[in-house]
């Protein structure tokens, strides 16, 4: 069932549905959504007319808060932590500090990546969570729309990543002569084939190096769509932004000691892109030279007939 239909079944008019979706009054699996075309499980939808007004996909959303941690849904384009660049004061930790009074960063996700981020609210929780990251006991899973079709349903990539592979970008260490780097391990699984030129892939991180998922997929010849650094032109132009989403976080609560789990479905823009790729098999095929000429010539032939 589509989300818009479910909201109509709840008694909302078309105008009310449109307003509810555009102002953050509707959440799916706990995350605000404005995508009325998304297929949903009705039990996972929550309509709250008194919810804080926000624009889904543009504004960050605080989805969990207690005395020790805050879990935030971060939109693409927002920094995880403050930076020195222009506009760098706008970040997830800055938002949490304004709302909760304190914020201590634990991990980061790329600026153009959407999804889940945990922020500690005191130094004790920060240390506890960082220790878990160091010990690789935090489960982190990403969803990526990638170019092409991987030959295996499941695979893993383990290598050493260095800061400069020779062209100024991060990459894997090819020889003993190159600088020392850091071990990186990612487990991948194909979730769905999207037409003939793209695939929805899940990436489970065992380590968390900068750009790890992006590099492992790119060097495996299946770059993330929209990746401005590691994708070739066809994949880079197939999405308006980096098609990478931090979908799952699971860790031990720093005070309670029990495992807590947070999940976020694909961001609205990536979900729309997924549907577009699924319905258009050639969506990621770049136009080749001569395509327009052939179209014009075939058109002239038809007119002559």
Q: Which residues are catalytic?
A: 110
Whose CA is closest to 29, among 274, 262, 272? 262
Which three-class secondary structure string do you get for the chain? CEHHHHHHHCCCCHHHHHHHHHCCCEEECCEECCCCCCECCHHHEEECCCCCCCCCCCCCEEEEECCCEEEEEECCCCECCCCCCCCCCCEHHHHHHHHHCCCEECCCCCCCCEEEEEEECCHHHHHHHHHHHHCCCCEEEEEEEEECCCCCCEEEEEEEEECCCCCCCCEECCCCCCCCCEEEEEEEEEEEEECCCEEEEEEEECCCCCCHHHHHHHHCCCCECCCCCCCCHHHHCCCCCCCEEEEEEEEECCCCCCEEEEECCCCHHHHHHHHHHHHCCCCCCCCCCCHHHHHHHHHHHHHHC
């Amino acid at each position: 069932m589509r989300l818009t239909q479910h909201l109509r079944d709840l008694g909302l008019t078309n105008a009310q549905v449109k307003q509810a979706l555009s102002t953050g009054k509707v959440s799916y699996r706990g995350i605000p959504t404005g995508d009325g075309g998304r297929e949903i499980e009705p039990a996972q939808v929550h309509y709250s007319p008194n919810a804080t007004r926000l624009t889904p996909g543009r504004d960050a959303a605080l989805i969990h808060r207690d005395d020790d941690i805050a879990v935030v849904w971060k939109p693409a384009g927002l920094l995880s932590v403050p930076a020195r660049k222009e506009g760098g004061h706008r970040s997830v930790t800055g938002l949490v500090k304004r709302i909760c009074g304190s914020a201590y960063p634990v991990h980061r996700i790329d600026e153009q990546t959407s999804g889940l981020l945990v922020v500690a609210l005191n130094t004790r929780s920060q240390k506890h969570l960082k220790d878990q990251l160091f010990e690789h006991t935090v489960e982190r899973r990403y969803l990526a729309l990638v170019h092409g079709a991987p030959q295996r349903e499941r695979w893993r990539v383990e290598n050493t990543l260095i800061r400069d592979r020779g062209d100024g970008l991060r990459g894997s260490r090819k020889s003993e002569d190159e600088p020392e780097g850091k071990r990186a391990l990612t487990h991948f699984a194909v979730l769905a084939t999207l037409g003939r030129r793209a695939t929805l892939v899940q990436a489970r991180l065992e380590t968390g190096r900068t750009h790890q998922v992006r590099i492992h997929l790119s060097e495996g010849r299946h770059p993330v769509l929209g990746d401005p650094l590691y994708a070739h032109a066809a994949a880079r132009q197939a999405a308006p932004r980096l098609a990478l989403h931090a979908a799952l976080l699971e860790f031990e609560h720093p005070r309670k000691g029990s495992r807590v789990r947070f999940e976020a479905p694909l961001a609205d823009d990536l979900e729309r892109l997924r549907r577009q790729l699924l319905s258009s098999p050639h969506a990621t095929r770049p136009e080749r030279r001569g395509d327009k000429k052939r179209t014009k010539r075939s058109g002239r032939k038809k007119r002559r007939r």
